[in-house]
Amino acid sequence: MANDQPPRPSRRGFLKAGSAAVAAGASLGATGVAQAALGKTPAHAADPTMAVEPFYGLHQGGIVTPQQSHTYVAALDLTTEKRDDVIALLRAWTNAAARMTQGSTAAPLPPADAANTAANTTDAANANGTYDAASNKGAPDSGDVLGLGPCGLTITFGFGPGLFTHEGKDRYGLASRRPAALVDLPRFNGDQLIAEKTGGDLFIQACANDQQVAFHAVRQLSRLANGVATMRWGQSGFLSGPRGQTPRNLMGFKDGTNNPSTAKPQLMNEFIWAGATPDAPWMEGGTYTVFRRIRITLEHWDNTEVDFQEQVFGRHKYSGAPIGKKNEFDPVDLTEEDKDGNPVIPENSHVRLSNQASNNGAQILRRSYSYNEGTNFYIERWPPWRQETEYDAGLIFLAHQSDPRKGFIPINDKLAKFDMMNQFTTHVGSAVFAVPPGAKPGSYIGAGLFET
């Protein structure tokens, strides 16, 4: 039987554009607007599937990168006892991630040669219809994104507390190198965390302008971890926005407006990038990332009036402007009062409580996505007795900061207690990670932690 398959296709059937302008142009959100304003390619100019983001560099991608339209985030738990295994994994991840972000498969595909013809295996497969996993290394890549283009893929790796100490044990000789800023998050008022959606020793955030490309990256990386680490949780997220505008979240509000501008290096250095602290010099140029899975009771929210919804956020729904203002980017003025002397932006509104003026000047870089995992069926046996299907949808909250003790923790402490939005939201997953700086070509993500 003849087997003359055409040569294997690559993911990149295009002239490599590889410029920051293409990348910026392909992305969504307020940061994209900022970049466009700086005179770069306007946000609608490029095909988002063609965008290429650099992998190597001072910082990892996916932090100040203008937000792509999709993400898949995952956490893994280390099962190995060997420091060398962890290093080998980080090396393999670095190489595969560098390939994939540039539009390639995780590993080279086999040539379309005789070894791969059907004739060689027909009998074996027909004989019993099963395969022997042990004698089988598997395909080099799942192949499900062949032809899709790089899609602006970024892959960001992070280290959870469990890499440093695990059940009181210093598995890899790293306990003394744990950054003080990598705290265990406290319990917040109202938290309903599900253990299997919380924590993790290693973090992967893949963002891309295509859902399958983002998932594909995590899927290949998680497979490379076979025998060394296992998946703890993973989840898919998306943003729908007219390109170049701030996307609306599932509550219908523009989300991301009042982020610190990634176009201002000074702001990024102050609030987002970690410095070379004495306890963790290897974190210089990295950041700390907080993940929260926040379910939103959309059914409940949809039964409220628009003007009430605006009070909850402290912003107008359609324009995105602060209450009483006209334009989305008008400044939030917390001192304004109405004719009766009441604050125009309510005391318990989301933006007042989270604004830097209410938090000793603290700022975080939110880079969140919506999620939509169908429906949950739940039964409550306590009155009012009910048995109901609810949307399992909400926000994958992701925020980067130089120190969570000054960023997420105090802000969320306040929100968890007073935010009017809480009656519609439940935090069901949570994690915090030290996200090391970028790697140099030839090195690997986290080298500074292991080798200096």
Q: In this chain, which stretch among 84-92, 246-254, 397-405, 433-441 interacts with a second copy, using CB under 8 A?
A: 246-254
Phi, psi values for residue 244, rounded to 5°: 90, -5
Report the residue number, 239 or 449, with the smaller CB distance to a second copy.
239
- The burial of 223, by beta-carbon neighbours within 10 Å (0-12 exposed, 13-18 middle, 19 or more buried), is given as middle
Out of 20, 45, 107, 112, name the contact with a second copy by CB under 8 A: 112
Distance between CA atoms of residues 26 and 44, nearest Å? 7
Q: Residues 61, 160, 234, 286: which binds a second copy (CB under 8 A)?
A: 234
Q: From the list a second copy, ligand HEM, none, pick the one residue 248 interacts with, judged by a Cβ distance below 5 to 8 Å according to partner type.
A: a second copy
CB nearer ligand HEM, residue 93 or residue 371:
371
Q: Which of residues 372-431 bind ligand HEM (CB under 6 A)?
A: 394-395, 397, 408, 411-412, 415, 425
- The correct pick among 313, 369, 371, 444 for binding ligand HEM (CB under 6 A) is 313
Q: Are 56 and 184 in contact (CB under 8 A)?
A: no
Q: Tell me the longest C-alpha to C-alpha distance in the chain.
A: 87
Cα gap 366→67, rounded to integer Å: 10
Verify cis geometry, omega within 30 degrees of 0, for the bond prior to 331.
no
Is 371 a binding residue for ligand HEM by CB under 6 A? The answer is no
Exposed/middle/buried for 142, CB within 10 Å: 0-12, 13-18, 19+? middle
Selection from a second copy, ligand HEM, none that 313 binds (CB < 5 to 8 A by kind) is ligand HEM
* Residue 189 binds a second copy, judged by CB under 8 A: no
Q: CA–CA separation, 176 vs 173, rounded Å?
A: 8
Question: 66 or 429: whose CB is closer to a second copy?
Answer: 429
Can you name the residues that pair with 379 across neighbouring β-strands?
A: 387
Given the complex with ligand HEM, which of 205 and 257 has the nearer CB atom? 257
Binders of a second copy in range 336-355 (CB under 8 A)? 336, 338-340, 342-344, 346-348
Separation between Cα atoms, residue 258 and residue 356, nearest integer Å: 10
Q: Which does 149 bind (CB under 5 to 8 A by kind): ligand HEM, a second copy, none?
A: a second copy
91 versus 317: smaller Cβ distance to a second copy? 317
**How long, in residues, is the chain?**
452
Rounded (10°) CA dihedral 248, 430, 83, 443? 20
Q: Is 144 in the site for a second copy (CB under 8 A)?
A: yes
77, 201, 210, 255: which one binds ligand HEM (CB under 6 A): 255
Contact between 152 and 52 under an 8 Å Cβ cutoff? The reply is yes
Does residue 215 touch a second copy according to CB under 8 A? yes
Question: Are 10 and 104 spatial neighbours (Cβ–Cβ below 8 Å)?
Answer: yes
Q: Which amino acid is at 416?
A: A
Query: Which partner, a second copy, ligand HEM, none, binds residue 173 by CB below 5 to 8 Å per kind?
Result: none
Q: Distance between CA atoms of 189 and 204, rounded to whole angstroms?
A: 28
Distance in Å, CB of 27 to a second copy, minimum: 16
Q: Which of 227, 279, 375, 417 binds a second copy (CB under 8 A)?
A: 375
Q: Which residue is nearest to ligand HEM (CB)?
A: 258
309 binds ligand HEM (CB under 6 A): no
Among 16-24, 57-65, 143-151, 349-357, which window interacts with ligand HEM (CB under 6 A)?
349-357
190 near 416, Cβ under 8 Å? Answer: yes
Helix (H, G, I), strand (E, B) or coil at 206: strand
- Work out which of 101, 105, 222, 355 binds ligand HEM, going by CB under 6 A: 355
Token pair for 165 = 């100490």
Looking at the Cβ atoms of 11 and 171, the one nearer to a second copy is: 11
Residue 278: cis peptide before it, omega within 30 degrees of 0: no
At 451, give phi and psi (nearest 5°): -120, 5
CB of 406 to a second copy, least distance (A): 27
CA atoms within 13 A on the CB side of 37: 11
Residue 159 has which token pair? 């280290």
Within residues 18-77, the interface with a second copy by CB under 8 A covers 49, 72, 74
Of 67, 101, 262, 311, which one interacts with a second copy (CB under 8 A)?
311
Task: Please calculate the CA angle 33-35-41 and round it to the nearest 5 degrees.
Answer: 100
* Rounded Cα gap, residues 259 and 299, in angstroms: 28
Q: Please identify, among the stretches 131-139, 235-243, 281-289, 292-300, the one whose residues bind ligand HEM according to the rule CB under 6 A.
A: 292-300
| Among 111, 324, 380, 417, interactor with a second copy by CB under 8 A | 324
Interface residues toward ligand HEM, by CB under 6 A: 249, 251, 253-258, 292, 294, 296, 313, 315, 332, 350-351, 354-356, 364, 366, 394-395, 397, 408, 411-412, 415, 425
